[in-house]
Chains A and B, each alone.
Chain A
Amino acid sequence: MISIQNLHKSYVTGNNSLHVLKGLNLEIEEGEFVSIMGSSGSGKSTLLNILGVLDDYDQGNYYLNGKKIWGLNETQAAITRNAMIGFIFQSFNLISFKNAMENVALPLYYQKVNRKKRNLIALEYLDRLGIRDWAHHLPSELSGGQKQRVAIARALISHPKIILADEPTGALDSQTSLEVMEILKEVNDQGITVIIVTHEHDIAALTKKIIRLRDGIIGEVITNGDLQKYRDKVKHE
């Protein structure tokens, strides 16, 4: 599903260059539920942006579903994002003057699905996420958990191959965070690859694979037995 080899990315600010990703290699299979962790500046947000075709890289290879992602223009990138990727953000990123249903339906608008049909589909997704009653409410009228459910519904509506979630529980209380993680787990159970970036150990512990970034490369991958130990450790902290 995702194959990255020797990925490099630098940011140039004035006369200074900041080398963020330094030859990163990563393989993620279809249907995995992965969390990416790392300290501030380790490159996790940069990696997520590259994975989400929101940003380019300087060197290396990135294959998404077998297709090399390199040198795409804005239109090609937008079409790839719309077809393959669903985004979930810490600050929800809902459009303030559109109600929940319209926000959810927006990716289908860019797929040229007619208004009536896409609103019906949006209502179905809101129903699945348990917030159908809030379909005609503006984001400002929703709680944090409800907003994130709307964001998840929006991410799912275009049948993406991957869900990329950037600190999806960062703005939520612990109970709501668990609910959101439960939803993401259900999404993953349907075969969709879910990748979340988080700094919260208890959230990472709920995924099936933890990738730790250190200084622009993968420092540690925790799976299987190690993951259980990690979960036990988090539980006792």
Chain B
Amino acid sequence: MFDVDIWQEIFSTIRKNKLRTFLTGFSVAWGIFMLMVLLGSGNGLSNGVKDQFAQNAVNVMWMWTGETSIPYKGLKEGRPVKFNNQDYNFLTTKEKDIEKVSSKYYLPNNILYAYGKEYGSFETSTCYPALKEMENISINTGRFINDMDLREFRKVVVIGDEIRKALFKEEDPIGKYVKIGGVPFHVIGVSKDMKRQENNRQAYMPFTTAQRIFSGGDRVHMFTVTSRMVQTAEEADTITEKVRTDMAQRHNFDPKDKRAMGSFNMQTEYIRTMKIFQAINLFVWIIGIGTLIAGIVGVSNIMLILVKERTREIGIRKAIGATPLSVIGLVLLESILITTVAGYIGLVMGVGLMELINMGLEQAAAASTGNTDNVFFLNPTVDFKTAVSATLILILSGALAGYLPARKAANVTPIEALRDEN
């Protein structure tokens, strides 16, 4: 395989047939180039959608209440359903498929935030510490809400970076007091979302504190929970239905009544979307391999023509001592060389193009305001494992393409070959 002479033999043949070698190689290079572009694009699309999902934990689920729309057990429709703190206890202790829970109590609209002479109206998310993980909240400075804050009804707040800029300008907000609806809250942290700007206009305060200060009683407007990770969308749906049935039982409404209790299970959507991308990926491989096969058939064809053209030469070689194995080696290695080199050029060009596109996308993202909410094409590159697989496929393809012509060459008898007029 690494005999210098055999490679010199091959290179002298290639030098003799430059155009033909180029055209043969081009078909393989094009095949692998298209495969890389298709795979890169598939990855880009998949990464973009995954990034959208990454705004929250993939197994997050939201539940909220409304009014009943179906009469149930003698109770008429139009009855309001309200979650409460006992539901929180139920979800955390009795619901086996639920891992973490955070309650939310909505503060009055247009609640004013003020620090010194600066003020503004911002959104407030009342929560449990678990929300940080569920909604992938990133803390820039300070800390997030903790269990003690909730237990002791502490008047603490984590403000978004836009709130910090609006109220504190260049001042460090940690340890300062900001008035929320006229009540002073101790700033314990600043959150910063690099991707979604609107999250930076949001503050987080302990759920229990909000309920107590803003007259919430034991009312809960919404639950954010994470459920057990499952493999299929059907399993995720089963969890949703189980929680819905339990809540329906607790609040006396028909489990089928979607207006009494609304829910959205991210895991169901995530699994379904990922299945679609698996199918797209498979489709891309089929198309790519198909294109590659067309290239390989081209190489095989050219190698057959080459063997036919070189029949006399092969005959001469055999007459002076070439064994069938050495002839097979010559043809096979030439085929592998053309396929691998050309394929690798296609591979590098394909990967290079996708890297260029990626670079362009990154520059565009950097130049934008940082809001990537609507970016559905991200990091359209091909990973190392795929590139290695493609390389192995190329070598195998070269061997396949050269096998038949090599066998044909090995079967050439010296007498027939020396009679050949080509």
Residues of chain A at the chain B interface (Cβ within 8 Å)? 49, 52, 54-55, 74-75, 78-79, 81-83, 87, 89, 93-98, 106-107, 109-111, 115, 154, 158
Contact = CB atoms under 8 A, between A and B. Distances in A.
A109 B323 contact: no
Nearest to B318: A78
Interface string B253-267: 000000000000000
A75 B16 CA distance: 28
Contacts of B317: 95, 106, 110
A26 B315 CA distance: 27
Contacts of B319: 52, 54, 81, 87, 93
B320 A55 contact: no
Among B312, B321, B415, chain A packs the most CB atoms within 10 A around the CB of B321
12 contacts: A52-B319, A54-B414, A55-B413, A74-B318, A74-B324, A81-B320, A81-B321, A83-B321, A87-B319, A96-B313, A106-B317, A107-B320
A97 B414 contact: no
A106 B323 contact: no
Contacts, number: 64
B316 A95 contact: yes
B5 A79 contact: no
**B-side interface size class:** 20 to 34
B323 A110 contact: yes
A82 B321 contact: yes
B363 interface: no
A236 to B, nearest CB: 36
A56 to B, nearest CB: 10
Interface in B64-123: none
Interface in B297-333: 312-313, 315-326
Q: Enumerate the 5 nearest inter-chain pairs by beta-carbon distance, A residue then B residue, closest first.
A: A82-B321, A110-B321, A75-B323, A97-B16, A78-B323
B312 to A, nearest CB: 7
A111 B12 contact: no
Contacts of B312: 93
Given A97-B13, A115-B5, A82 B414 contact: no
A49 B4 CA distance: 33
A5 B414 CA distance: 24
